[in-house]
Amino acid sequence: MAGAPATPGREPPPDAATREARRAVRRAVRRAVRLAAELERLDGNRLWIVDTPRGRVLQKLYAERGGALRCRVRDLLARLRGGKSGTRAAARRATERRLLALWREAGCDVPRDLSDEHPELVNGRTLVLEFVEGPLLARALREAGADRARRDGLLEAFAATVRRRHDLALQRGEAGLIQEHGGVQHVIVTGTADTPRLVTFDLESAFTLRRDLLPLIAKELAAALRSLARVQGRALDESVFRDDLRALVRGYGDRARLAACAAHYLRPRGAARLLWAVDRALEEREERDGGKYEVMAVLEEVAGPLTPSPR
């Protein structure tokens, strides 16, 4: 049956293929609009593995965390109360780029910043990083299970790298060499079983410059021990945890510094006593296994008594 004749002065009605093409364009536009809106409200970063002519790289997008007001309040509190770098997306990107350069200059193993080599993948919200293939240290420990020799080797190597970095931080007075968000979940294990390479990542937040760095070292160690306790799951096996801490103490080497860090949490001085007492009471009330006070108490037992010189 013949189609309806075209009205003089008007375009003929589109055929089926044209209508479908227009619908496809409208769907694509709607998807793009939704994606743009999603990027504006992303609560956390996004990572993509990208294959390039130069090899595989990791593209990291720094997103805001929460709404505009919440982001501003969190950023202000972090700077004033927490003594930390900014928490907005642009600030975290800048901090990570600065710390990657600082850590590599200090000989610490972190992913290379390849942003200058891949400008097509970089904008004000992204960086391009070296893709390091391997399991997280937390996963490697879970897979090691009851293999004490394997667990000890991994933990001693990890602790030795942390000790070296802490030594450099104290020598230089550089708070940026102390990881603000450390732990076994932020280390990649690569290399061989005999000579593992431990690559630390997640450096988008940093402590600001302070005269006394020991409290910051204590915070990093407490976070690392808590992450180690969580490797076992919900129920903490104290016997396994103590053996793990013995390996960490052997690898770290400086028992006096470890004991001083434990004392920072367990026996605070001055005005911090009241805040610490309230915080510890809340932790005990919630009956959380692997809380910072619990793990630091075990660390003090394993590391031994505090010597007169904590450094």
122 and 205 belong to one structural domain: no
Among the candidates 104, 130, 156, a domain finishes at 130
Q: Where are the beta strands (DSSP E) in 55-211?
A: 55-61, 126-130, 187-191, 196-200
- 151 and 228 in a single domain? The answer is yes
Tell me which of 62-71, 81-90, 94-103, 193-202 is least confident: 62-71
Q: Is 35's pLDDT higher than 70?
A: no
- The answer, yes or no, to whether residue 77 has pLDDT greater than 80, is no
Once rounded to an integer, what is the mean pLDDT over residues 207-235?
88
Q: SS3 of 113, please? A: strand
Which residue reads 């399991």 in tokens? 135
The string of pLDDT tens digits covering residues 50-72 is 999 999 999 999 988 766 666 66
Q: Give pLDDT tens digits for 245-266.
A: 999 999 999 999 999 999 999 9
pLDDT at 140 (0 to 100): 95
Instruction: Give Cα 217 distance to the centre of its chain.
Output: 16
- 144 lies in the same domain as 242: yes
Close Cβ partners of 58 (under 8 Å, ≥ 6 residues apart): 47, 48, 49, 50, 111, 128, 129, 130, 131
- 96 and 237 co-located in one domain: no
Q: Is the pLDDT of residue 303 over 70?
A: yes
- Domain membership of residue 194 (yes or no) is yes
Q: How far apart are CA 231 and CA 153, in angstroms?
A: 16
| Number of domains the chain is built from | 2
For residues 54 and 154, membership in a common domain is answered with: no
- Residue 132 confidence (pLDDT) above 90: yes
| Between 271 and 286, the higher pLDDT residue | 271
Judge whether 16 lies within some domain. no
Residues 122 and 187 in one domain: no
Model confidence at 2: pLDDT above 70: no
Which has the higher per-residue pLDDT, 30 or 111?
111
Residues 122 and 161 in one domain: no
Confidence check: pLDDT of 9 > 70: no
pLDDT of residue 42: 47
Can you tell me whether residue 129 is helix, strand or coil? Answer: strand
For residues 225-250, average pLDDT: 90
pLDDT interval class at 80 (50, 70, 90): low
Phi/psi region, residue 303 (left: phi>0; alpha: psi -120 to 50; beta: rest), is: alpha
122 lies in the same domain as 163: no
Closest CA to 71 of 35, 99, 44: 44
CB-based burial of residue 112 (10 Å sphere; 0-12 exposed, 13-18 middle, 19+ buried)? middle
Confirm if 158 and 187 have CB atoms less than 8 A apart: yes
Query: Within this chain, do residues 258 and 227 fall inside the same structural domain, yes or no?
Result: yes
pLDDT band at residue 311, thresholds of 50, 70 and 90? very low
- The whole-angstrom separation of Cα 64 and Cα 142 is 32
pLDDT of residue 191: 87
Tell which of 105, 130, 155 closes a domain.
Answer: 130
Q: Find, among 93, 122, 123, 127, the residue nearest to 112 by Cα.
A: 127
Give pTM, 2 decimals.
0.79
pLDDT band at 181 (very low <50, low <70, confident <90, very high): confident
Average pLDDT over residues 103-116: 98
**Shared domain check, 244 and 163:** yes
Q: Is the pLDDT of residue 34 over 70?
A: no
The mean pLDDT value of the chain amounts to 85
More confident residue, 233 or 79: 233
Range of the domain at 75: 46-130
Same domain, 142 and 242: yes
Q: Are residues 76 and 175 in the same domain?
A: no
Both structure tokens of 15: 């055929």
CA 116 to CA 108: how far, in whole Å? 21
Residues 6+ apart with CB under 8 A from 103: 110, 165, 177, 200, 203
What are phi and psi for residue 145, nearest 5 degrees? 55, -125
Q: Is the separation of the CB atoms in 197 and 190 below 8 Å?
A: yes
Residue 13 pLDDT class (50, 70, 90 cuts) = confident
pLDDT at 309 over 50: no
Token couple for 278: 């309230």
Of the two residues 113 and 71, the one the predictor is more confident about is: 113
